[in-house]
Structure 1
Amino acid sequence: MDFGHRRLGERMTSRGSKLRGIALVVGVGLVLAGCEKTTDGAPTGTGASSASSSAKPSGSKDPDAAIWDPCTALPDDALRADELNPDTRTKDIARFDPTGWKVCAWRSTAKWYDLGIYSGEPTLQQVRQRQDLESVVPLTVGGHPALRFLFADDAEKRLDCGVAVEVPQGKAAGTVAFLVTTRYSIGKLGDPCDQATRHANDFAKYLPGGGN
């Protein structure tokens, strides 16, 4: 699976509309899409999954039930304390059915960036092997192995930055990625990598397996 348009809160530009990826899931050509409009300053998804793609047979088990869900796991008080606006919560920012992932995003109270949290099954090693990432740096987040990265098409301007953290997703290893994206309409008013690292560390105690 590839992360797609990572702009969460405003109309995509030609740079932002390029497809990017962090991890591959075999057999799934799924592309997450950013938002093309905002409502009262909050990120708004461009489209929802069709009923046919998201519907599950009656009585069937949810295959994604074991995946940690950032939308429900992070309390509003914790979001506010970490300078995020809980009222801007946007769930499953996707143009297609995001099978294998749970996604949530918020606007920062500083308003110059959005934070998207992508929780899924790809391993940290798969993230490390991505060819569209640069300046990949190993970290430890709450006792979990982690990687900080830039996107190859953004390595010079450094408008966006992510931190992927290895966590248990059910019985298997997976990752939770914290992705900070600068809003074009405001511009960069800080270091996106500092913000991504800060959010990852601050929310580590809510991740699967907890945090030190």
Structure 2
Amino acid sequence: MLAIACVSTGCGEPEGETATKTSEVVTPAPSTSVNPDAELWDPCHLPDSAISATGLDPKTEVPDVAGVDFDGWQVCTWQSNAEWYSLGVLSGTPTLQAVRARDDFVGITDYSIGTRAGVQFLDAGDDKGLNCSIAVEIPQGTVMFYLTTRYSIGKQGDPCTEVRQHADALGPYLP
């Protein structure tokens, strides 16, 4: 775009010299790069009223993961009003079967949200039971609800009970 602006305005032209202006219109070529995330449902578009109704603070919304965009995923995170945990909602293309097949997830049990097939699972390395997740099918792949205990405060309840409450309440807003 900068090159187009320079061609049309004559930037970079030495003083005292005149450039020959042309009426040629330069049209940029279409981008050949594809943004794999553009087609994914963005959990940051969940209504603030729905987020608030589940016990999360909409003012704490953080897109991505710690400010990092992961290819193939749309992510949004909120802190709970109880303050001891955060909930991340991730939208990605992996199938529910692919989630079941991961060896870094353990304790996988069936869990449905409304009519959507899903699973509840734990992180394999989480010996203290600080985190719990639910994944459900959507047309583009899966949505994961990932509850993480805030280490600075510590676990003050059952992460799986909390993540089920949030997933059930936000389920009607999924695509």
Using the size of structure 2 for normalisation, the TM-score is: 0.78
| Range moving further from structure 2, 92-101 or 141-150 | 92-101
Whether 1:195 and 2:162 are equivalent positions in the alignment is yes
1:59: how far off? Answer: 8.7
DSSP-derived class of the 1:87 partner: helix
Whether 1:167 and 2:134 are equivalent positions in the alignment is no
Q: 1:188 to 1:97 in 2, by over 3 A?
A: closer
Alignment equivalent of 1:81, drawn from 41, 47, 53: 53
1:57-76 to structure 2, matched below 5 A, reads: 58=31, 62-72=35-45, 74-76=46-48
Q: One-letter code of the match for 1:68?
A: W
- State the partner residue of 1:27: none
Q: Distance in 1 between matches of 2:86 and 2:40?
A: 22
Q: One-letter code of the match for 1:83?
A: G
DSSP-derived class of the 1:111 partner: coil
Q: One-letter code of the match for 1:121?
A: T
Structure 1 segments (4+ residues) deviating >6 Å: none
DSSP-derived class of the 1:178 partner: strand
In structure 2, runs of 5+ residues without a counterpart are 1-29
Q: 1:188 to 1:94 in 2, by over 3 A?
A: closer
- State the partner residue of 2:124: 152
DSSP-derived class of the 2:139 partner: strand
In structure 1, runs of 5+ residues without a counterpart are 1-56
The structure where strand makes up a greater share of residues is: 1
- State the partner residue of 1:9: none
Q: 1:97 to 1:106 in 2, by over 3 A?
A: closer
Q: 1:122 to 1:83 in 2, by over 3 A?
A: same
Considering only aligned residues, what root-mean-square deviation do their CA atoms show, in Å?
1.8
- State the partner residue of 2:92: 120
Task: Give 1 or 2 for the bigger CA radius of gyration.
Answer: 2
Q: One-letter code of the match for 2:128?
A: K
Q: 1:89 to 1:97 in 2, by over 3 A?
A: closer
Q: Distance in 1 between matches of 2:95 and 2:33?
A: 26
Q: Distance in 2 between matches of 1:187 and 1:94?
A: 20
Q: Distance in 1 between matches of 2:159 and 2:115?
A: 22
- State the partner residue of 1:28: none
DSSP-derived class of the 2:86 partner: strand
Whether 1:99 and 2:80 are equivalent positions in the alignment is no
1:65: how far off? Answer: 2.5
Q: 1:122 to 1:110 in 2, by over 3 A?
A: same
User: Taking every aligned residue pair, what percent have the same amino acid on both sides?
Assistant: 52
